Amino acid sequence: MGNCIGKKENHQKAETLEKSNTLSNEKEPEIDFESEFNVMWQDFGDETKIHDDSLRLFFDKIEIKKDSAEEFLTTYILKCQTLAVITQPELFEYCKLNELNSWDALANSIQEKIREYSEDKKHMRLFFKYIFEKSSDYPKVIETKLAIPILEILIELFPWSLANRFLVYLKMYRKSEHLKIDEWEHIPVFLIEHKDGLHDYNEEDSAFPRLFDEFVKSMSSTFIRVLTHE
């Protein structure tokens, strides 16, 4: 993730930036937004890529936890070409489009979008599609061994019991080596649509891929129930 050239120097640079930010917060002057960005991105070999440490600092500033589902969602919001890698032009483009000129404004904008997207089936479907495109080696399927760890991170976006049960089901019962893109894309849609329970899920009328029918069927299994209780 990111470029590792000049890691030590970059770390020092990031510390300097943090200090300046703290100072500036005390005095409450107008932050030179673009110059701070430039500090983050400069002298790392590839000017468009941000360094890991700076990236951590960047997420701290916008109050997003690093290595979390929100981090992935942020890169989706910023329309980043590479998953969890933010380039300077991408960030600038976002700020320009949304007329953002301070850290607070950027943080607010992204967090607001995260909140909005987390409950929107269409956006979450597109987000999962984005994750699929950026992570799968195949055009129409994603390997289960890759899909499950990614889903373990993304599941935080769905803080209700059904989501965990679904993850348990995938881990235990998904025999096939792959998840089809159609199945993958519909995971968030299914979880959002049935966040209150599966009482209204009707296998025969439901257009969800069969993966979800099988999951719902297995919900009657004691094994799954016991596991999810634990």
Partner 1 sequence: MSDKKKPKIKSFKSIAKVASVEEAEELLEKISKAINQIYNFETSTLRYQEYYSYCYTLTMSKKEKILYNSLKSIIEEKTKIITEQLKGVQRENLLVKFRDLWDTHKTCTGYVKNLMSYLETGYIQQNRLTPIYDLGLITFKELVFKDETLCPKLNNLLMEMINKDRNGEVIEKDVIKSISNMLIEVGLNSRQMYKEILEDSFLMQTDIFYNNEAKLLIDEIQVPEFLKKAEERLEEEKRRVFAYLDISSMEPLLRLVDKNFIEINAKALVNSDSGLAKMINNTSINDICRMYRLYQRTHDLQKEIHACLERYILEKCEEIVKNQESIKNPIKLISDIIELREKIILIHTSAFKRDIMAEVSIRRSFENVFNKYPRIVLALVLYIDYLFQKEIKGISDEEIDLKLNKIIALFKYISDKDVFESYYKNYLAKRLLSDKSLNDEAEKSFVRLMKTECGSQYTSRIEGMINDMGVAKQDSNHFQNTAQFDFEVRVLTQTYWPQDDLQPILLPVQLAQISEKFTNFYMTQHSGRRLNWKHSYGNCILKANIGCEGKQYELLVSTYQACVLLLYNETDNYPLTSIISSLRGFKDELVKHILGLVKAKILTKPARGKDLPDDSVLTLNTKFTNKLKRIQVTIISSKEKEKNSQSQTMVDEERKHVIESAIIRVMKSRRELEHPNLIVEVCKLVSHRFTPDIKTVKKRIESLIERDYLERDERNINLYRYKA
Residues in touch with partner 1 (CB under 8 A): 121-122, 125-126, 140, 180-182, 186, 189, 203-210, 213
User: If we measure between CA atoms, which residue out of 109, 20, 7, 108 comes closest to residue 51?
Assistant: 7
When the beta carbons of 26 and 205 are compared against partner 1, the nearer one is 205
When the beta carbons of 91 and 142 are compared against partner 1, the nearer one is 142
Q: Which residues are CB-contacts of 168 (< 8 A; sequence separation ≥ 6)?
A: 224, 227, 228
When the beta carbons of 44 and 212 are compared against partner 1, the nearer one is 212
Q: Scanning the structure block, which residue is given the tokens 């701290």?
A: 60
CA-based torsion, 28, 32, 34, 36: positive or negative: negative
Task: In angstroms, give the least distance from the CB of 222 to partner 1.
Answer: 23
When the beta carbons of 137 and 230 are compared against partner 1, the nearer one is 137
Task: In angstroms, give the least distance from the CB of 125 to partner 1.
Answer: 7
Task: In angstroms, give the least distance from the CB of 163 to partner 1.
Answer: 18
Q: Which residues are CB-contacts of 183 (< 8 A; sequence separation ≥ 6)?
A: 209, 211
Task: In angstroms, give the least distance from the CB of 195 to partner 1.
Answer: 16
Q: What are phi and psi of 176, to 5 degrees?
A: -65, 150
